[in-house]
A and B are shown apart, each in its own frame.
Chain A
């Protein structure tokens, strides 16, 4: 609290203050927290840093933001890459910073995040939430926008040689979309693969540190250009007969994301 009070007036410009204040935020309690630990005042400090990363470091460009509904529940489903969850941060910022009806999406994060000192609280304070179906369901009931990377660590931890190859998607997001009558907005992120290219996963070190992977990669993200393309919303009725039907629908979403990745690669003139 005191750290926040010290940092905020010294770091947060008025524009960021206004951007965050303009975002619709439900469920914020008397002490400024929502049930998932989001704290707008802390988020402003993080947003200042993310804004700089988005605009100046990664020079990110977002297209198709009009496909994000202005209000109501939505699942934003994308490809995961880059060892660190930088893609989630950039996608969330793009939606929060859009000109018309901005909103702060909640990103589903890996379950081990809260075990790391500071990281868990920091990620929660800017809207990150443990990737648990119960969390997701409760947030959809509260009409939130949620960013999900169904590949999980299979996507983020993959080596550079597998770049832009979608790994297996979990089916959880599709079940949630069907059960909660939620539109899916596919998103293709291009550039994050190059921010932290990994040659291999040093498994013994990962086991020792109790983390899912330990990449042989640059210590800091490289300043690759990032292109984010949002696709048209996809809707699915809750009428599947078996899990095979769900898998077909998941493949449809994957195909849409593949198309958006191809668009991003075509848009990119240079990696850095």
Chain B
């Protein structure tokens, strides 16, 4: 991919990324266009839908594994895609990333000035294990607030936001099949994930205040599969995975390809709302580990402080200690609303999913 000469202004995240750069000096610096801009629409040429394609779509978090699938699916459906990455943690970026820019910096608006987006698929979120709490809040919440302001300013017709089932929080008293109306208790149960709840609140406010943005929030269960590097996928990939003695909570998993299909269904059908995305299939955590070919490393589970210390001692080989309750108590979500609204059935079974991890070992 050719690298364009960039204007002097650079995004803060982009500057940070130069430390990790393995490519040329011009790579991943900029507000930061990493390639030649897409052909600017001619004055006499219709823009957006009908302008030679079905329009341009901004995909945030474009370096992620899910984004790779979403971008491919969008292109297949004749959309033009502009990929943006702000996480600044990758050592290299795939070709799906067109811009590396911090949403909180002024140059981010240039992306909107240069392109006429019909929709935004907001997949970019710094996960709980990445970066500090302050930085997460700044990027995930403040950055997204700016994204929403710009979407409104530049007349974007649709926004899909990727949230997480973690917003419900893990607690022994959780009912099963949690539906979308259930309170987002994570803010109370685990303050470290408050940015995820705040992010949803932000979208919810805009959903009702600006219905023209057609906001859809997706709360998927555990996304797993090739390329995914979230906490649960990391556990399944390890030859030895930790689990708490006497606890094997029920979990749900969705294959990354199915999640991409789910995103595309929402994008095509344009039905705003908040939706849980999960298959009607369940497996206990310890069963999942064994199906994925992992050996179990039992950690003490009581009293809780011993469990937390044990998890901390394992470092990156275990989930962060504040997420320990997700490995103790089931958080089973009800994906029936999404399945019914979008006629969605996952293509990949749990056996397929765990087969991937088993085969990779």
Chain A residues near B (Cβ < 8 Å): 1-2, 27, 29-31, 33-37, 39, 111-121, 124, 129-130, 132, 134-135, 138
Contacts and interface: CB of A to CB of B under 8 A. Distances in A.
Given A1-B287, A121-B247, A34 B173 contact: no
Contacts of B302: 117
Contacts of A36: 176
Contact of B282 (A1, A29, A111): A29
A92 B219 CA distance: 36
A209 to B, nearest CB: 10
A35 B284 contact: no
Given A117-B245, A117-B247, A117-B301, A37 B176 contact: yes
A113 B330 CA distance: 13
B281 A30 contact: yes
12 contacts: A1-B284, A29-B281, A30-B281, A31-B283, A31-B284, A35-B176, A35-B250, A112-B172, A117-B244, A118-B246, A124-B250, A134-B177
Given A117-B245, A117-B302, A29 B177 contact: no
B30 interface: no
Contact of B330 (A31, A37, A119, A138): A37
B286 interface: yes
A172 to B, nearest CB: 13
| Residue from B281, B282, B301, B330 having most chain A Cβ neighbours under 10 A | B282
A119 B328 CA distance: 12
A1 B286 contact: yes
In the complex, the 10 A-B pairs of residues with the closest C-beta atoms, listed nearest first: A117-B246, A29-B281, A134-B175, A132-B175, A114-B172, A31-B283, A118-B246, A33-B282, A135-B175, A111-B173
Given A1-B291, A35-B332, 5 more contacts: A31-B281, A35-B280, A117-B244, A121-B284, A132-B173
B349 A30 contact: yes
Interface of B: 172-178, 182, 244-248, 250, 280-284, 286-287, 290-291, 301-302, 328-330, 332, 334, 349-351
B173 A130 contact: yes
Contacts of B291: 1, 31
Nearest to B174: A130
A30 B334 CA distance: 17
A250 B42 CA distance: 74
B247 A129 contact: no
B331 to A, nearest CB: 12
Contacts, number: 85
Contacts of A39: 284
A116 B250 CA distance: 15
Given A30-B351, A31-B350, A130 B282 contact: no
Interface on chain A toward B: helix, strand, loop, or mixed SS? loop
Interface on chain B toward A: helix, strand, loop, or mixed SS? loop
A115 B350 CA distance: 27
B332 A31 contact: no
A173 to B, nearest CB: 16
Contact of B172 (A2, A30, A115, A118): A115
A112 B173 CA distance: 7
Nearest to B301: A117
A135 B176 contact: yes
Contacts of B301: 117
Nearest to B329: A114
Contact of A35 (B177, B248, B328, B350): B177
Nearest to B296: A2
A112 B281 CA distance: 25
Contacts of A130: 172-176
A111 B248 contact: no
A37 B284 contact: yes
A117 B300 CA distance: 10
B245 A37 contact: no
Contacts of B284: 1, 31, 33, 37, 39, 121
Contacts of B332: 35
Contact of A138 (B173, B177, B245, B250): B177
A36 B248 CA distance: 13
A121 B248 contact: yes
B125 to A, nearest CB: 27
Nearest to A125: B284
A33 B176 contact: no
Contacts of B245: 117
Contacts of B349: 30
Given A29-B282, A33-B283, A129 B176 contact: yes
Nearest to A27: B280
A2 B290 contact: yes
A128 to B, nearest CB: 12
A218 B361 CA distance: 50
B176 A29 contact: no
B127 to A, nearest CB: 26
Given A114-B172, A138-B176, A31 B287 contact: yes
A1 B287 CA distance: 6
B350 A30 contact: yes
Given A1-B287, A29-B280, A114-B329, A120 B250 contact: no
A46 B281 CA distance: 23
B180 to A, nearest CB: 12
A235 B127 CA distance: 50
Nearest to A3: B286
Given A31-B282, A117-B246, A120-B172, A1 B177 contact: no
A224 to B, nearest CB: 30
B288 to A, nearest CB: 8
Contacts of B329: 114
Contacts of B246: 116-119, 121
